[in-house]
Structure 1
Amino acid sequence: MYIPPGFNTITPYFFVKDAESFIAFLVNGLGGSETCRTMRPNGHILNVQVVIGTSTVMVSEATIEYPNMGCAFYLYVENADASMKRAIEHGASLEMDVQDMPYGDRQGGVRDKHGNIWWVSERVLHEPYTS
């Protein structure tokens, strides 16, 4: 099986209203980098690819056939406190303050203005978690 560089076996694909502002949040609020952009003839976004860390996500403008839909994501970062601050500065709302979790992550949560929840986590336990 061939998977293009930057992609994983499962790749999140977002259909959102106002895709341009969502892409700006992925880049500015979550530290991503836009790598590819394809537009529809009407000027709306057909597909944009954004790399965040080691993963690529895809974004399209929502349509009647593919309506806006939210989801939840678990995002590993180098520094949960700084990443949460950055996401909030770029329009996300607080879901949960950053705190040390019993399973070895320092984690907080935000909701972007498109309805997605991001559990922003920094691994602080450097060994496998056992309950």
Structure 2
Amino acid sequence: MTHSYTPKGFQTATPYFIVQDAAKLAEFLTQAFGAVEENLMRSEEGKITHAELRVGTTILELSDAQGPFPPRTNTLHLFVEDTDSCYRKALEAGAVSLYEPGDMPYGERSAGIEDPFGNHWYLATFQRGEGKGYYEE
């Protein structure tokens, strides 16, 4: 459900990444997760001042670190169609493994990666009917 105060295509909460090289993060997101650029603004010097990339049904925002906005790391739980495939693509795009894909007792096939910027991503595919009360169908 979109609220009147939420831009079209956005959800109530939107992850925002501030990194040293937002263009490289955008490239990683595209290679690893199939991100699609929705909006990109650059300064006169060529730095990304704001970008919006769609991953599945979610918009991720990002920008280059500058002034009072230093680089920060994030942790995200990302639902994907195929955990194993996404995990491999992320590693090929430059991520390092936190843990290999495996079936979890709470009904997900899950894997963990750290992207080249230090962000942690917990990749998960929900396995209907296999949860132990963690999710409702």
Tell me whether the two structures share a fold, i.e. TM-score over 0.5: yes
Amino acid at match of 2:14: T
SS in structure 2 of the partner of residue 28 of structure 1: helix
Partner residue, 2:31: 28
Deviation at 1:39, TM superposition (A): 0.8
Amino acid at match of 1:60: S
Q: Which of 91-100 and 2-11 deviates more?
A: 2-11
Select 2:8's aligned residue among 5, 8, 12.
Answer: 5
Deviation at 1:127, TM superposition (A): 7.0
Same amino acid, percent of matched pairs: 32
Partner residue, 2:84: 81
- Count of aligned pairs: 131
Please give the alpha-carbon distance, in whole angstroms, between the structure 1 residues aligned to 2:10 and 2:131.
25
RMSD: 1.4
Please give the alpha-carbon distance, in whole angstroms, between the structure 2 residues aligned to 1:89 and 1:128.
30
Which residues in structure 2 correspond to 1:51-62 (within 5 Å)? 51-62=54-65
Select 2:40's aligned residue among 30, 34, 37.
Answer: 37
Question: TM-score when scaled to structure 2?
Answer: 0.91
Question: TM-score when scaled to structure 1?
Answer: 0.94
Partner residue, 1:18: 21
5+ residue gaps, structure 2, are: none
